[in-house]
Structure formats: C-alpha cells, structure tokens
C-alpha cells in the first residue's frame, strides 16, 4: 500500500491572500465587529464556548467572510468537525474576498483530514489563481503565510494520487519562489523522483533533506539508495 504523505506546515494567515482594503477585512456593523473582536479575546483567554457564541452572534447581525472563516478555523483546528468547517469556508468563499486563503484552508481539510485529494487539488487550483506570488517571491521562508505554501499542498495531494511528475513540478515551483529550502519538501520530492526511477537525483534530495534537518530522510536513504 502506498504511503500517504501529510502536510507538515503550521496554518496562519497570509496577508498576500487578501488583496482588499482593511475596510473589507472586518465586519462593518459596529455590534458585529465588537462581537467578532470579543470572540478573539475569549478564544485567547481559553473561553472557547463563549467565543463560539460570540462569533455566531456576529454572523447573525452581519454575515461576513472573515467571521465565517474564523468560525471555520475553530471547527477545524479545535473541534475537528471537518464538515462544519468546510461549510463555513464555503460560505466565506461566497463573498469573493480572501479567496487564496479560503480555498487553501478548504483544500487542506479535504486533503489532510478526508483524503479527498482530487477535491483538494481543485481547491488548490482556485487558490493559486487568487494569490499574487510576486508579493512573496524571494522572501525568507519563515515570513510567508500558509496559503503561500499552496504549491506544496497541491504537490503533496498529487503525490498521494501517484502523480509524481505533477508533484515534482509543484515542489520545483515552490522552490523557485522562496529562498529557504524546507527539508520535508526535499524529502517528498526525493521519494517522488525515486518512484519515477530517477534514483540518483532522488537520493540527492533525500540527502539534502537529512542535511538540513529531516532525520527520517536517513532511514529512506538506507532503504532506497
């Protein structure tokens, strides 16, 4: 049975995914905005149920993509209720704002939690259409947002479908954008190359992955190189 490769990145908001003004970024109704900001404070202080109620009340007053996205995040990361999270991200997408981040989030659930790699790739394709990669090109890798990793996420989904050439192409595209070299991406790209019969280049990637911090690469080198 083919090994399933999972994403190993932390999710945080990329400002690159939001091309709108700050006025579009948050609810305009004063009470809805107050409830949204209160929900963040409640989550930060550990009052999770109260935070959820505040978010839902904010949405009742003024449905807004940001509050739907925030609610989706809570369902995903804290409650692990994937269908509810997808529903909230879908509602947020309907506003046409922040589409790069929203499609990336929805794709991550489909890929990482539901193994729906085809559905995830569809979402990642839409995310890529809505992200300005020139904004982050050449930046230090530690300062990019999760949606800026979308080529990696799509590459991992392709890998899990056995589309190794497509996966390598996406990893190459990611490496062309950022100065830093993530060891895990080298590791998976190395496996993809070996699966295509390019053992020499694949083992070089595995060696690079181990050299810059991914220790599991050395086990793969023993087995495959």
CA–CA distance, 23 with 36 (Å, rounded to integer):
14
User: Are residues 158 and 121 in contact, defined by beta-carbon separation less than 8 angstroms?
Assistant: yes
What does the pLDDT look like over 186-204, one tens digit per residue? 999 999 999 999 999 999 9
**Out of 50-64, 154-168, 173-187, which region has the weakest mean confidence (pLDDT)?**
173-187
What does the pLDDT look like over 22-34, one tens digit per residue? 456 889 999 999 9
40 versus 135: which is more confidently predicted? 40
- Percent of the chain past pLDDT 90, that is, above it, reads 71
CA-based nearest residue to 123, from 163, 69, 86, 160: 86
Give the burial class of 28: count Cβ atoms within 10 A of its Cβ; 0-12 exposed, 13-18 middle, 19 or more buried.
exposed
- Which of 1.10.357.10, 3.20.20.70, 3.40.50.2300, 1.25.40.10 would CATH assign to domain 26-97? 1.25.40.10
């Amino acid at each position: 049975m083919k090994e399933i490769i999972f994403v190993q990145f932390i999710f945080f908001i990329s400002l690159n995914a939001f091309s709108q003004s700050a006025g579009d970024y948050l609810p305009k109704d004063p009470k809805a905005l107050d409830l949204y900001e209160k929900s963040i404070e409640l989550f930060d202080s550990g009052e999770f149920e109260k935070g959820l109620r505040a978010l839902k009340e904010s949405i009742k007053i003024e449905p807004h993509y940001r509050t739907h996205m925030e609610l989706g995040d809570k369902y995903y990361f804290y409650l692990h209720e994937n269908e509810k999270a997808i529903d909230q991200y879908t509602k947020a997408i309907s506003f046409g704002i922040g589409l790069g981040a929203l499609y990336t989030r929805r794709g991550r659930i489909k890929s990482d939690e539901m193994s729906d790699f085809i559905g995830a790739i569809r979402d990642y394709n839409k995310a890529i259409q809505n992200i300005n990669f020139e904004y982050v090109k050449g930046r230090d890798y530690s300062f990019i947002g999760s949606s800026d990793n979308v080529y990696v996420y799509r590459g991992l989904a392709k890998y899990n479908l056995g589309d190794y050439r497509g996966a390598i192409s996406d990893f190459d595209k990611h490496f062309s954008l950022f100065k830093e070299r993530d060891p895990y991406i080298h590791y998976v790209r190395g496996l993809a190359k070996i699966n295509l019969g390019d053992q020499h280049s694949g083992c070089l990637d595995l060696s690079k992955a181990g050299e810059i911090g991914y220790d599991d690469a050395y086990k793969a080198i023993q087995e495959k190189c």
